[in-house]
Amino acid sequence: MILLDGKTTSNQIKEEIAQAVQQRKTESKKIPHLAAVLVGNDGASMTYVNSKVKSCERVGFKSTLIRLDAETSEETLLQEIEKLNTDDDIDGFIVQLPLPTHIDEQKIIMAVHPDKDVDGFHPINVGRMTLDLPAFLSATPFGILELLERYNIETSGKHAVIIGRSHIVGRPMSILLSQKRPVGNATVTVAHSRTKNLKEITLQADIIIAALGIPEFLTGDMVKDGVVIIDVGITRVEDSSKPRGYRLAGDVHFESVSKKASYITPVPGGVGPMTIAMLLKNTLLACQNKDNT
């Protein structure tokens, strides 16, 4: 069994991005600038945003964090987005999800200019991705493709089972893996909450991408020998033995599944760090896209 080490791989990607930034500096080109908008005080969201901002510093990007309180109106948030859309120094920005329930998330996603949508959530980017046109790919699926590529994992002709059909992970992942691209050409099955006989399906899988958000859902008896496992899930599970009172659990029961897998991502240290690295990659791309305009 080989561990798909997202931490080390993401550090390599960050190093490559840092070198590209250095090169831009020597050529007197613009330094990439990522902004993040955080509404409210959700603990997990604050952790994610802080690590995104820290990663920007590490690769030499400029970063801006805009913090708004939990009562911020949809109108005010839309105004903030418009400011970011029209600020020439900002190459890309993200609005950390989930948003408070009084704000319509879809309306917010639609308000982000597609050229600055480094999360790849805007329908224009999703549409372009679906049609195999250049687009910002949603960072988590993009990170999974990159991890599979860097570990030379064959996907062509393989049966990939994606568990979960969310707009940010399962759905784009299923589209990307079925496309004619270096990491693609797979035969894809999408499983979801209404899927019957899931075990029969997962037992046929050469590659399983678990993105459902139920801790340790996929167990050893549900997979065949040699399977490649990508565990996207991150759930905080109460654990009084830990200083913070919780541990992070994936959607895969690591102990039983790793005994059968040929490759497997750990949680933490698998998909999570790759997601951040790909957000940086999208921001660099957004900046480069402006070079010739």
- Which residues here bind ligand NAD, judged by CB under 6 A? 140, 163-166, 168-170, 191-193, 195, 198, 211-214, 232-235, 271-272, 275
Nearer to ligand NAD, 150 or 290 (CB): 150
Cα 266 to Cα 11, 51, 229, 230, 279, distances in angstroms: 16, 19, 9, 8, 20
Nearer to ligand NAD, 24 or 49 (CB): 49
Nearer to ligand NAD, 92 or 170 (CB): 170
Nearer to ligand NAD, 80 or 251 (CB): 251
| Nearest approach, Cβ of residue 87 and ligand NAD (Å) | 27
Let me know if 2 is exposed, middle or buried by CB neighbors in 10 A (0-12, 13-18, 19+): exposed
109 CB-side CA count, 13 A: 17
| Nearest approach, Cβ of residue 127 and ligand NAD (Å) | 20
> Do residues 265 and 218 make contact, with C-beta atoms less than 8 angstroms apart?
no
> Do residues 62 and 283 make contact, with C-beta atoms less than 8 angstroms apart?
no
| Nearest approach, Cβ of residue 31 and ligand NAD (Å) | 26
**If DSSP codes are grouped into helix, strand and coil, which group holds residue 193?**
coil
| Nearest approach, Cβ of residue 255 and ligand NAD (Å) | 19
Q: Kind of pairing, strands 246-249 and 235-238?
A: antiparallel
Task: Indicate which residues carry an active-site annotation.
Answer: 52, 96, 119
Say how many C-beta atoms besides its own lie within 10 A of residue 76's C-beta: 14
| Nearest approach, Cβ of residue 88 and ligand NAD (Å) | 30
Spatial distance between the Cα atoms of 170 and 266, rounded to a whole number of angstroms: 18
| Nearest approach, Cβ of residue 191 and ligand NAD (Å) | 5
User: Which secondary structure element, helix H or strand E, spans residue 283, and what is its range?
Assistant: helix 271-289
In this structure, is the dihedral angle defined by the CA atoms of residues 207, 121, 149 and 52, taken in order, positive or negative? Answer: negative
In this structure, is the dihedral angle defined by the CA atoms of residues 97, 102, 105 and 108, taken in order, positive or negative? Answer: negative
Nearer to ligand NAD, 153 or 208 (CB): 208
Nearer to ligand NAD, 55 or 140 (CB): 140
DSSP-derived letter for residue 117 is: B
